[in-house]
Structure 1
Amino acid sequence: MSTPDIACEAVPAPKQSGLSRIGLIVPSSNTTMETELPELFRRQTEATGHKYTFHSARAGMKNVNKEELLAMVGKAADCAAAVSDADVDAIAYACLVAVMAQGTNAHVGSEATIAQAAEDNGHPAAVTSSAGALVRTLQEMGVEKVAMVTPYMKPLTQMVREYIEGAGITVLDAVSLEVADNLAVGCLDPQNLPEIARNLKRDGADAIVLSACVQMPSLPAVQAVEDELGLPVITAATATAYEILKSLGHAPAITGAGSLLSGAGVKVPAQI
């Protein structure tokens, strides 16, 4: 008795009109980026009708320390090749501090490595990283001075501070919540962020980075803090979403996530 032929899909399904595929490379313990980004793009879909799907590859990392972060960096190319199998339109390397731990402007090399891996796999895609997206977005906004919140231990926060300042942006204040376990970072309550933001030293600040980490939940607080303090508020996640939309040629139209993604344009307050 012959066995009937079984058709197996050897290539990704053809892309549909009105649909974009987004690839994510995330730490294995990340629980936030795969919730905040889809929510942001759900709001984009609600406004524009264009749909987005998300496809992730995970690189091992449990604790936010320099050793594990650097080990994760070595897995980025393999993750990029794996996620590009889904023939994604854009890839986001969603671990800000893993890139920043390599030194100023490390996002340039990281993004090039990921782009090359996807191209070598036969599925080239636009590439951004949360580290690159954060500094480029601040620069595009014309921001010269920021205050920021991080979940990291103080030495890592200092490293992030130096990275941002290496991009020509002064960090007036940087709060460290000092949470080392990455799963615990993902359990932090974003409703605590408005109070933390109120206590930042922000005199002269052009913007607030409410979460300099893609794992620290912040989306529910972004609009509230921006409305209360009268400063543009961005996060590693909103900056990443912004760059993904730009790479796809889509104008931001996302409500309730700060002026950056609203489509209205960001106004940096003039300093007296």
Structure 2
Amino acid sequence: MDFNTHLNRQFRIGLLVPAGNTTFEPDFHSAFSSQVSIHAHRVIAQGSHAYESVESMDDINEEAVKEIAKLAKAGVHFGAYGFTTAKFYQGRVFAEKLQQRLTQGLGVPVVIPSLALLEALSHLQVKKIAVVTPYPEWNNQTLKAFLNEVQLP
């Protein structure tokens, strides 16, 4: 493929989005040119959960792993899973294993936002972290535990 053909190629990004999330798709649409098409698939937990917890996160993650095969039908080149708490609530190793499962199911690399955050902190050699979130206390405590895994310089 020559360079001009490569420039005219449409890249497809696949998004796994929690059913109630209204920001993930618009954020991706605003970040990319017309050379990129966004293909989203909504995921919903099978159980009824009054609030976010280990159980609700386990539920939505299992559904994401099951549902990613549907997104694979779009022939996407990359994927992203847009439920940040659902990846950091059990630590880095859990997030890495989930990323592997999703990548295997989609057949192309899947980005996990919490792992991308850790990579960015490391790359930028961040020495101190301050976080402001819209999350309730449970989410904040799990995020704090996740960020405490980061080895700052």
Q: TM-score, normalised by structure 1?
A: 0.49
Unaligned stretches of 5+ in structure 2? 1-6
CA distance in 1 between counterparts of 2:152 and 2:37 reads: 34
Q: State the match for 1:22 in structure 2.
A: 13
Q: State the match for 1:260 in structure 2.
A: none
User: Do the aligned partners of 2:84 and 2:113 also contact (CA within 8 Å) in 1?
Assistant: yes
Would you identify which runs of 4 or more consecutive aligned residues in structure 1 move more than 4 Å? Answer: 61-64
Q: State the match for 2:27 in structure 1.
A: 36
CA distance in 2 between counterparts of 1:38 and 1:63 reads: 31
Q: State the match for 1:152 in structure 2.
A: 135
Q: State the match for 1:77 in structure 2.
A: 65
- Tell me how large the CA RMSD over aligned residues is: 2.2
**Structure with a larger share of its residues in helix:** 2
1:228-247 matched pairs, under 5 angstroms:
none
Q: State the match for 1:104 in structure 2.
A: 92
CA distance in 2 between counterparts of 1:56 and 1:19 reads: 16
Q: State the match for 2:77 in structure 1.
A: 89
- What SS does the aligned partner of 1:73 have? helix
CA distance in 1 between counterparts of 2:90 and 2:41 reads: 21
- What SS does the aligned partner of 2:130 have? strand
User: Do the aligned partners of 1:105 and 1:167 also contact (CA within 8 Å) in 2?
Assistant: no
Q: State the match for 1:52 in structure 2.
A: 36
Query: What one-letter code is carried by the residue in structure 2 that aligns with 1:65?
Result: E
Unaligned stretches of 5+ in structure 1? 1-15, 119-123, 171-272
Tell me how many residue pairs correspond in the alignment.
Answer: 144
Shift of 1:63: 6.0
Aligned-residue identity in percent? 25
Question: Residues 228-247 of structure 1, C-alpha deviation per residue, up to 9 Å, x if partnerless?
Answer: xxxxxxxxxxxxxxxxxxxx
The equivalent position to 1:68 in structure 2, one of 31, 56, 69, is: 56
Between Structure 1 and Structure 2, whose CA radius of gyration is higher? Answer: 1
Query: What one-letter code is carried by the residue in structure 2 that aligns with 1:31?
Result: T
CA distance in 2 between counterparts of 1:150 and 1:64 reads: 17
Q: TM-score, normalised by structure 2?
A: 0.84
CA distance in 2 between counterparts of 1:56 and 1:110 reads: 19
Question: Residues 24-77 of structure 1, C-alpha deviation per residue, up to 9 Å, x if partnerless?
Answer: 011110000111111111xxx2xxxx6111111111158651132221011122
- What SS does the aligned partner of 1:145 have? coil
- What SS does the aligned partner of 1:22 have? strand
Bigger RCO (CA 8 Å, 6+ sep): 2
Which stretch shows the higher mean deviation, 131-140 or 21-30?
131-140
Query: What one-letter code is carried by the residue in structure 2 that aligns with 1:57?
Result: H
Question: Residues 158-190 of structure 1, C-alpha deviation per residue, up to 9 Å, x if partnerless?
Answer: 1101101112249xxxxxxxxxxxxxxxxxxxx
